[in-house]
């Protein structure tokens, strides 16, 4: 079995392409934001059996770990730069597994133009435990914040929602779905697509943004609380992959892990946002409005109130 130093030298060093990573030879990495830019830092942890399944492909676990962090950067409107990785390795994780894990990182480093900047590998008697700190960059003072929403703002969501929760249900055998939708839902659960280009393009258009990790209602609640506002959304307007699947509306409202962007913007930006969606080839759907009254209200097309079954995940 590879030791710590061998793992770093053989597997991680080739991924540490940024000059500030210092070839992982030092105690820390050096980072210089370009003139007029500021750095953005975020950190997420994942545990085998809690945030992914033991049998998930190693490369996809690596990519999910990286992408959930890139999604946080996207929600702030930042461009990704690089990341530091901590890996607590149980004995049953073989060198081959680590090689596949690092191949997943390598693929995403190329796709998202990021570099390993540092990290730590330790042994654990428990489950595989991962944490990643992602670094991004954006023009000073232009970050999209949760607290910037204003009453009357439209509420928008990117892509489709509920897919990751349905994909998990499929993987766990709780839901039967025919191909090709089956593969698409599983991929949505295993391999989030952080909306990196959208997040950056929303600077100057959106008032507030968040990525959907806890569930649409819970994350809209975070925007509402931080902005001291409430919201009303229309359940029938939610962008769904398959409207006739059982539980799809609850999954869309309360399922986590979609990693789409939920954002608010003034009605004056509707044309610009619709144009942006076309330019990016990504559906952007208007689902409601921010309001002065606190709390989140959900209605259907007839105006009747909808009561979703769960109000979001807590990962703790």
Site for its own copies, rule CB under 8 A: 3-5, 7, 22, 25-33, 38-47, 49-51, 72-73, 75-76, 78, 84-89, 117-127, 129, 131, 133-136, 140, 143, 145-147, 210-211, 222, 226, 314-316
Instruction: For the CB of residue 133, give the shortest distance to its own copies in the complex, in Å.
Output: 4
d(CA 286, CA 306): 18
The continuous run of DSSP H or E covering 304 comes out as: none
Structure tokens at 227: 């902005």
Instruction: For the CB of residue 78, give the shortest distance to its own copies in the complex, in Å.
Output: 7
19 DSSP 8-state letter: G
11 DSSP 8-state letter: I
CB-wise, 123 or 172, nearer to its own copies? 123
- Whether the upstream peptide bond of residue 259 has omega within 30° of 0, thus cis, is no
Instruction: For the CB of residue 44, give the shortest distance to its own copies in the complex, in Å.
Output: 5
Helix axes 163-171, 181-190, angle to 10 degrees: 100
Q: Residue 108 in contact with residue 66, Cβ under 8 Å?
A: yes
Instruction: For the CB of residue 91, give the shortest distance to its own copies in the complex, in Å.
Output: 11
CB-wise, 178 or 316, nearer to its own copies? 316
Rg (CA), the chain: 20
Instruction: For the CB of residue 39, give the shortest distance to its own copies in the complex, in Å.
Output: 4
CB-wise, 64 or 234, nearer to its own copies? 64
Q: Residue 127 in contact with residue 61, Cβ under 8 Å?
A: no
The continuous run of DSSP H or E covering 285 comes out as: strand 284-291
CB-wise, 72 or 163, nearer to its own copies? 72
CB-wise, 122 or 243, nearer to its own copies? 122
Instruction: For the CB of residue 127, give the shortest distance to its own copies in the complex, in Å.
Output: 5
CB-wise, 26 or 300, nearer to its own copies? 26
């Amino acid at each position: 079995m590879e030791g710590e130093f061998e793992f770093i030298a053989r597997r991680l060093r080739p991924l540490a392409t940024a000059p500030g990573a210092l070839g992982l030879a030092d105690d820390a990495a050096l980072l210089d934001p370009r003139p007029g830019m500021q750095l953005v830092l975020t950190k997420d942890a994942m545990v085998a059996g809690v945030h992914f399944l033991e049998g998930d492909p190693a490369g996809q676990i690596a990519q999910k770990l990286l992408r959930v962090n890139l999604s946080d950067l996207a929600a702030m409107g930042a461009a990704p730069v690089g990341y530091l990785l901590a890996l607590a390795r149980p004995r049953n994780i073989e060198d081959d597994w680590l090689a596949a894990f690092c191949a997943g990182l390598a693929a995403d480093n190329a796709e998202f133009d990021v570099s390993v900047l540092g990290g730590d590998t330790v042994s654990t008697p428990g489950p595989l435990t991962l944490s990643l700190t992602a670094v991004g960059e954006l023009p000073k003072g232009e970050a999209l914040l949760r607290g910037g929403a204003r009453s009357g703002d439209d509420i928008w969501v990117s892509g489709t929602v509920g897919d990751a929760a349905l994909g998990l249900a499929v993987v766990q055998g709780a839901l039967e779905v025919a191909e090709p939708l089956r593969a698409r839902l599983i991929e949505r659960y295993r391999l989030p697509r952080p909306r990196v280009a959208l997040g950056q393009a929303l600077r100057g258009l959106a008032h507030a943004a968040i990525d959907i990790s806890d569930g649409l209602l819970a994350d809209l609640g975070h925007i509402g609380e931080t902005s001291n506002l409430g919201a009303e959304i229309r359940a029938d307007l939610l962008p769904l992959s398959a409207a006739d699947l059982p539980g799809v509306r609850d999954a869309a409202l309360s399922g986590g892990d979609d990693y789409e962007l939920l954002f608010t913007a003034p009605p004056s930006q509707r044309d610009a946002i619709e144009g942006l969606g076309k330019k990016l080839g990504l559906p952007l759907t208007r689902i409601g409005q921010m309001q002065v009254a606190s709390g989140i209200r959900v209605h259907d097309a007839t105006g009747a109130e909808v009561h979703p079954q769960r109000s979001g995940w807590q990962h703790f």
